[in-house]
Amino acid sequence: MSDNAELNPNEILVGERLYADAINIVLANAQNNLLIFDQDLSHGDFSSLHKYELFREFLSRNINSRLTIILQDTQFFQEKCPRLVNLLTVYGHKMIVYETNDSAKHAKDCFILADGQHYIKRIHIDQARFIYALNDSATVDVLDLRFNELLEATHNMVSITKLGL
C-alpha cells in the first residue's frame, strides 16, 4: 500500500499507480465479500505478488468469505495472472470467475465492491480516472445493482479443471 498523500478517498483521482494503490486499500479492508467487475484485469496490477497476497489473505481469513469476479474477457486472467488462477484452484469453493456474454461487452467502467461498504470505480477503462471510498454503503448499493445486472449477462465460468471421459 502506498503512503501517497494524493490518494484521497471520495474524490476523482488520476493515475495508474494511484489506481493500483487504491485497489490495495479496498482489498485490504475487505472481510467477507468481494465483487469485481473488470474488462480483463489488465489494469490495476492484478498480476502482481502483492495483489495475490491480498486476495489470498482475504480468502483464508474467514471461512465465509466469497470472491466473485466478472470479466468481459478472461484471456489476460488465464494467461497473465497465474497466481490468481492458482487461488481459483485452491479456493474454488469460495471464488468464482465469470465471463460476460456479448450484451455486456459494451460496459467500459470497472469497479470493486467490498462488504457492502467500500468501493473503487474506474470511470472508463481507457483513462486512469477513478474514485474510491470506504464506508459508503449508499454508493455501494447502487453499484451492487449494476453488478447483479452484469452477473445476469454472464455465459461462462472459468474452470480450472478439465472435464472429460
pLDDT per residue as tens digits for the range 75-85: 999 999 999 99
What's the DSSP call for residue 14? E
Q: Which residue(s) pair with 13 in the sheet?
A: 130
Q: Which residues contact 9 (CB under 8 A, 6 or more apart)?
A: 132, 133, 134
Confidence of residue 105 (pLDDT cuts 50, 70, 90): confident
pLDDT (tens digit, 9 = 90+) per residue, 20-61? 999 999 999 999 999 999 999 999 999 999 999 999 999 999
User: If DSSP codes are grouped into helix, strand and coil, which group holds residue 110?
Assistant: strand
Give the chain's count of helices (H) and strands (E): 5, 8
Q: Which pLDDT score is estimated for 103?
A: 84
pTM of the model: 0.92
Supply 72's cell numbers. 468481459
Contact criterion met (CB below 8 Å) for 111 and 37: yes
Q: Is the pLDDT score of 104 beyond 90?
A: no
Rg, the chain, Cα only = 15
Q: Which pLDDT score is estimated for 161?
A: 60
CATH class of the structural domain 15-157: alpha beta
Average pLDDT on 100-122 reads 94
Interatomic CA distance for residues 36 and 90, integer angstroms: 19
Confidence of residue 2 (pLDDT cuts 50, 70, 90): very low
User: How crowded is residue 29: how many other Cβ atoms within 10 Å of its Cβ?
Assistant: 14
User: If DSSP codes are grouped into helix, strand and coil, which group holds residue 162?
Assistant: coil
